[in-house]
Structure 1
Amino acid sequence: MSSTSSAPPWKVRRLPAADGRVFLVTGGNAGIGYFAAEQLSATGATVVLGCRDLARAEVATASIRARVPGARVRTVRLDLADLSSLDAAVESLGERHLDAVVHNAGVALDASRRQVTGDGHELMFGTNHLGHFALTRSLMPLLSAAPAARVVTVGSFAAKSERLDLDDLQSRRDYRPKRAYGRSKLAQMYFGFELERRLRAAGSTVASVVVHPGGALDSLTPSRPPFHVRTAGARWGAAPAAVLLQGKHAGAWPVVRAVLDPAVRGGELWGPRVFGLRGEPRREPVWNHLAEPSVAARLWDASCGLTGAGLNATGWGAVR
């Protein structure tokens, strides 16, 4: 399909078939990642949950299988905070190609004490951004082997009011947890757009799309016991918020559309229809501060240095 105008209306509860395709969802054991995996499993695709905690991942796969008869879903251990483990994690996928990866997994901390990964990176920036940056490099041969693969990066509405400090990407001088989280998600979104620019320059068949879930609350999310149970009290208490916000099942809708809809194009931003906070997915204008290629390029170069993701046999250099 050549344009969104030629595509049939998108129905979030009536997804197109995707038999034979393979999707990897990082952090697919809970929240938006879980619901994206559940919805994608209903298309007939093989869905792999990339999770640090395999026990929790198996609980999630059991939940998906209970709701999606015949679901082709499995798990692989993936620790984005351990950069040295990522090549082995990709090898353990055991696939010849990958049609999409959803960069969803994330760490959000409230504690005032700054924490670091085993590589010495600030934990949220190191996991949310650098981990996915390095993972994409490792996955590029599998993505390139698919006819038209997609890298779908899940940003956050929290990033809209943040700005990167390129001289202090890891909040060494002034650590504030909420700001550090918002900046880590902003870095992810910059990466998604910069990746698309480099893929196009390299003539790649892979596309990079950026999405955000709007305002997605646990209290508005349907129960998926045992890992998420919404009580009657929580449901009634959250009713006023439903005017502007939504549950995480709906927060997954832009993710799923970015993976499946042939009318979606690389370099686009997708989010909820109503004020960017709730509703069915739609394409929205790229936020002004994200449309700064010079910032994205500097972040890319810094990320290469921090992860060691330069020219190597994986083909990552082809998108530089």
Structure 2
Amino acid sequence: MSSAVPSTPPWNVQQLPRADGSVFLVTGGNAGIGYFVAEQLSATGATVILGSRNPAKAADATASIRARIAGARVRTVRLDLADLSSLRTVAESLEVERLDAVVHNAGVALDDPPREETGDGHELMFGTNHLGHFALTRWLMPLLSAAPAARVVSMGSFAAKSERLDLDDLQSRMDYRPKRTYGRSKLAQMYFGVELDRRLRAAGSTVASVVVHPGGALDSLTPSRPPIHVRTAGARLSAAPAALLVQGKHAGAWPAVRAVLDPVVLGGQLWGPRVLGLRGEPRREPMWNHLTDSSVAARLWDASCDLTGVDPGTVACAVPG
């Protein structure tokens, strides 16, 4: 009988590895899944920076994490993904020499018309969820390249699985339907994560890009973190049947947290919940068929360069790995 010990212990969402000395940025870290990504990463001893456009909400999130995790190294930075010109100064305002991971989590989801635009004239969800993260990556790339093996983790959505991009109408000008436009904005973000890794590999970069999604994550199944999120007893009871299929936002954070911390996770992979992609512990899953279409990914990349005026790939080539 062989008594060989596995080289890496099984992943345990309740017992995360230490990451003392590491620096992680979580966009939209003040609420929802992003908050729980930040809270869980803070328990590893890393410095966690919450990117948020709302200083008051960011302060609440920071206080909540510090109250739950003794000695948490958590702070905030002002970040507005809908304002592309503001993003070039974000890297400097982090006041760090390197960045070990960024979790591209922040997202806008509109339920009703009318169509809205960012100050730059982009459809709000596409402009924030995809173009904002695309441009931010360009400005963070020098800090990411300064780390030994940094990771860009893009938070996709199960809503993107049934969508397809319309490359002739990325801004939903011709046919705007909020839920579909949201799903497509997250699909664009996932294409970006896949294509970014392809370009990083070609450039010989030490940075890896991983795509994750949270499965089905409901507020009603999420533990309370007042004042950020308060779950009533009624909401908990009414959501109980749904717990067979989906989960809370604390569990929706697990794939992103594993993608940041686990050396088993590699660039170019997709990670999501274990059970039907909707709930459970994080696992690697096969790349969705439409995300393997490199021609769509390349066309989206070129369009994103045109719309933002930056190219994250050229920085990866320019910075020594």
Q: Give the TM-score band, short-chain normalised.
A: over 0.9
Q: CA deviation at 1:6?
A: 3.5
Mark the CA change 1:234 to 1:9 in structure 2 (over 3 Å): closer, same or farther: same
- The aligned counterpart of 2:238 is 237
Mind listing any 5+ residue stretches in structure 2 that lack a counterpart? 1-5
Matches within 5 A, 1:169-184: 169-184=170-185
Is 1:56–2:43 an aligned residue pair?
no
Matches within 5 A, 1:1-320: 6-310=7-311, 315=315, 318=318
Is the 2:138–2:311 contact (alpha carbons within 8 Å) kept by the matching residues of 1?
no
Is the 2:101–2:150 contact (alpha carbons within 8 Å) kept by the matching residues of 1?
yes
- Distance, in Å, in 2 between the alignment partners of 1:108 and 1:119 is 18
Q: Deviations over 1:218-241 (max 9, x none)?
A: 000000001211000000000000
Amino acid at match of 2:109: A
Amino acid at match of 2:213: H
- Distance, in Å, in 1 between the alignment partners of 2:91 and 2:150 is 16
- Distance, in Å, in 2 between the alignment partners of 1:299 and 1:243 is 37
Q: CA deviation at 1:315?
A: 2.0
TM-score of the pair, normalised by structure 1:
0.96
Mind listing any 5+ residue stretches in structure 1 that lack a counterpart? none
Is the 1:311–1:317 contact (alpha carbons within 8 Å) kept by the matching residues of 2?
no
Q: Deviations over 1:129-151 (max 9, x none)?
A: 00000000000000000000000
Q: CA deviation at 1:318?
A: 4.4
**Number of equivalences:** 314
Q: CA deviation at 1:316?
A: 5.0
- Distance, in Å, in 2 between the alignment partners of 1:130 and 1:315 is 17
Q: Deviations over 1:280-311 (max 9, x none)?
A: 00000000000000000000000000000048
Q: CA deviation at 1:273?
A: 0.2
Mark the CA change 1:255 to 1:26 in structure 2 (over 3 Å): closer, same or farther: same
Is the 1:244–1:277 contact (alpha carbons within 8 Å) kept by the matching residues of 2?
yes
- Distance, in Å, in 2 between the alignment partners of 1:87 and 1:316 is 16
Is the 1:310–1:317 contact (alpha carbons within 8 Å) kept by the matching residues of 2?
no
Is the 2:90–2:139 contact (alpha carbons within 8 Å) kept by the matching residues of 1?
no
- Distance, in Å, in 2 between the alignment partners of 1:66 and 1:141 is 33
Question: Which range moved further: 86-95 or 11-20?
Answer: 86-95
- Distance, in Å, in 2 between the alignment partners of 1:112 and 1:72 is 40
Q: Deviations over 1:37-57 (max 9, x none)?
A: 000000000000000001100
- Distance, in Å, in 1 between the alignment partners of 2:288 and 2:310 is 27
Secondary structure in 2 matching 1:238? helix
Secondary structure in 1 matching 2:154? strand
- Distance, in Å, in 2 between the alignment partners of 1:236 and 1:311 is 46
Amino acid at match of 1:296: A
CA RMSD of aligned residues (A): 1.3
Secondary structure in 1 matching 2:98? coil
Q: Deviations over 1:33-76 (max 9, x none)?
A: 00000000000000000000011000000000000000000000
Is the 2:153–2:210 contact (alpha carbons within 8 Å) kept by the matching residues of 1?
yes
Amino acid at match of 1:138: W
